[in-house]
């Protein structure tokens, strides 16, 4: 699929298309169809020594199957439970895929990445039955106060897709896209434990489309890091999570042309957070549109003095041309933590910030407040004008619910965090990720 065609087909508002219109016609996702890969060659891991007994190490068999199919074909992991005691690095390869029908369970205890794919192109990992999963049994580390390996990491991978699988209970991050380009992640569910450091999806690169995913953890839901440009994230269900974010941002930040839309967040730390502490560089041309939240600690949140990040050298990251539009729902306690909180660097004030149609109300109490500091733009507590100088803090108190704040809810909302001392069950990938939105790509069942 060509990215420009994709953007036009989504029917975005003009502001979103204006941000992304200079994208060249790069194809997004795999270049070779799944059927072509299946027809060329199938390398079943059981033919290379893997046994579906949940005990025998499948690492060597997966590597051997990859080596046999890396120039084109499908590494097939059939139905059954396959142990992974030694981690697998799959380097190179073109026009290949992993079909994950069974369940990979972690039995090893090393750090690093259980499956690490690097320097590859035209790659796909998916489950043609929609039943495939990676189970990290992270609770075995977390109950000891420790972290372990990440589940799945891609580095320098171009024209890729990850879809129709579950990533469960990672001992650390679940999915990381590191310097990846022209890829797509969709029809995916992540279930992680209830503590920080268990990120759902972290990504940086260019021309990446993440859509129709559900994330449970207590850290990043879907987060863009630097450097990144031409990123679309939509139809995301942050179901008891840390919430979506951008950062942490430090020196030489370079992020532009990013759109998040149709984001549903419940019982999370925030609906969206920009986070930095010092540093330099720019975040520009970002649109955050059509967000629904319920009972989150924070909602709209820019924090240029984020205390959980070590102070970086520089006058601060410049946040410029960022639009928030159509936010509805509730926050947990709007008098304790403002649902609209824009805290910009005094040495590098935010510019051209736009907040429109922001209607969030508090679950607790009968008042809430908005807080802006050194933030220039239009709407609510932002300061209008072109001076773009330091001015301090402006707050405003809201004593009645804003018109139109009431918002629908999603099915399957969790009311408690998931296991740090007990195993997390493997869920079924859902068929809906945002109220009223049909997934952009059909499930792969039967392909």
What are the catalytic residues?
A: 219, 294
Dihedrals phi, psi of 412, to nearest 5 degrees: 75, 25
In the structure encoding, which two tokens stand for residue 38, read together? 């299946």
Which residue, chain included where needed, has tokens 């896209």?
177
For residues 379 and 305, give the distance between their C-alpha atoms in angstroms, rounded to a whole number.
Answer: 22
- Longest CA span, the chain: 68
Q: Are strands 393-398 and 368-373 parallel, antiparallel or unpaired?
A: antiparallel
At 67, is the secondary structure helix, strand, or coil? helix
Helix, strand, coil percentages (3-state) for the chain, rounded to 5, are 10, 50, 45
Q: Tell which phi-psi region holds residue 197, choosing left (phi > 0), alpha (psi between -120 and 50) or beta.
A: left
Quote the CA–CA distance of 261 and 19 in Å, as a whole number. 14
How many angstroms separate the CA atoms of 293 and 267, rounded? 8
CB 338 within 8 A of CB 370: yes
């Amino acid at each position: 699929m060509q990215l420009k065609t994709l953007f036009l087909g989504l029917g975005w508002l003009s502001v979103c298309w204006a941000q992304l219109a200079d994208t060249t016609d790069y194809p997004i996702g795999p270049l070779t169809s799944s059927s072509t890969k299946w027809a060329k060659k199938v390398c079943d891991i059981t033919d290379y020594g893997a046994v579906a007994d949940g005990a025998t190490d499948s690492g060597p068999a997966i590597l051997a199957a990859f080596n046999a199919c890396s120039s084109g074909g499908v590494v097939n992991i059939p139905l059954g439970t396959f142990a992974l005691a030694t981690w697998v690095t799959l380097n190179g390869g073109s026009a290949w895929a992993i079909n994950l029908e069974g369940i990979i369970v972690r039995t090893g205890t090393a750090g690093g990445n259980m499956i690490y794919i690097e320097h590859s192109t035209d790659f796909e990992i998916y489950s043609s039955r929609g039943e495939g999963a990676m189970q990290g049994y992270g609770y075995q580390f977390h109950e000891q106060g420790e972290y372990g390996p990440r589940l799945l990491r891609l580095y320098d991978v171009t024209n890729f897709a990850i879809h129709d699988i579950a990533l469960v209970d990672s001992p650390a991050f679940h999915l990381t896209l590191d310097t990846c380009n022209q890829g797509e992640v969709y029809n995916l569910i992540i279930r992680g434990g209830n503590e920080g450091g268990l990120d759902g999806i972290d990504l940086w690169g260019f021309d990446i489309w993440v859509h129709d995913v559900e994330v449970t953890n207590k850290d990043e839901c879907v987060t863009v890091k630097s450097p990144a440009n031409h990123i679309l994230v939509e139809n995301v269900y942050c179901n008891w999570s840390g919430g979506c974010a951008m950062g942490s941002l430090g020196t030489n930040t370079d992020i532009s042309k990013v759109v998040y839309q149709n984001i549903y967040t419940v019982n999370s730390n925030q609906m969206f957070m920009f986070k930095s502490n010092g540093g330099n560089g720019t975040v520009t041309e970002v649109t955050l549109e059509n967000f629904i939240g319920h009972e989150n600690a924070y909602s709209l949140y820019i924090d240029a003095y984020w205390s959980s990040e070590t102070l970086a050298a520089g006058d601060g990251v410049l946040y410029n041309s960022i639009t928030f539009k159509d936010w509805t729902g509730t926050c947990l306690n709007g008098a304790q933590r403002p649902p609209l909180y824009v805290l910009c660097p005094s040495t590098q004030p935010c510019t051209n910030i736009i907040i429109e149609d922001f209607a969030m109300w508090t679950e607790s109490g009968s008042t809430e407040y908005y807080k802006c500091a050194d933030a220039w733009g239009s709407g609510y507590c932002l300061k209008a004008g072109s001076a773009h100088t330091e001015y301090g803090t402006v707050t405003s108190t809201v004593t009645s619910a804003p018109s139109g704040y009431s918002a629908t809810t999603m099915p399957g909302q969790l009311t408690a965090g998931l296991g740090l001392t007990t195993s997390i069950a493997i869920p079924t990938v859902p068929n809906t990720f945002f109220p009223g939105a049909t997934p952009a790509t059909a499930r792969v069942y039967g392909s």
